[in-house]
Structure 1
Amino acid sequence: MCVLINGQIAQELRRGKSVIRSFLASPETYGTAKRQGRPRKLSPETERQILDVGWANEMNAREVIDHLHLDGVNVRQVQRLFQADKRLNTSATPMPSTSLLSLCGDVGEERADDMEHLSMLDI
């Protein structure tokens, strides 16, 4: 049986000694620690309220902050909310682009070969 000390294992794996020590101490829970991160400044309810007021009244970010009396909220933070909002991305579907096919007019059977060639173009 070959016994390596933590330093040798760490050197072999090119990891820190503390990494090896914490893994050997509890391999089942290694790497599963919860990270809290920075707490959110705005609650989900406040974010919804900002978006509702902004879209309903067509206000910009500064006007929304003033209207809702949001002290300590940055204009850029509200702008980011507007950009990430799903309502912005679900607007009307864009019109199809005009292509050579629409310029051909009515397509009869005599133009079927021409249409095949035009459909190969990536327009």
Structure 2
Amino acid sequence: MVCCGKTTVAVYRSRYSPKVAASGWRRWRKPGCDALGLDWTTDIADARRRVGHKVALQGNMDPSMLYAPPARIEEEVATILAGFGQGEGHVFNLGHGIHQDVPPEHAGAFVNAVHRLSEQYHR
């Protein structure tokens, strides 16, 4: 989990490991934290419950999911979108970087699924 906004990522990373910081949810509800980057081990529904609607969430699909068949990728996208729920403040992304050997058509299936499925959640 990375806090962006008035707190810079560089300072944050120098002080906290993401796994340790995941237990510090209350700290990130304070003014000054505009967004949280979530890795794939964080439940997005739980994160949203904890920080409310005033902090944007970025993430958080497991990058290894892009090795799965496109239909399974779409299922995972749907699960994450449902976990976040209705409303604004979700930047759908991988929970970490993309692996260099991911088939391009799988990355395309991911992007297409996010575009197609997110409309019903983020109007």
Q: Same fold judged by TM-score > 0.5?
A: no
Structure that is richer in strand per residue:
2
* Structure index of larger Rg: 1
Scaled by the length of structure 2, the TM-score of the pair is 0.25
Per chain length, whose mean CA-contact separation is higher, i.e. which structure has more relative contact order (CA < 8 Å, sep 6+)? 2
Structure that is richer in helix per residue:
1
Scaled by the length of structure 1, the TM-score of the pair is 0.25
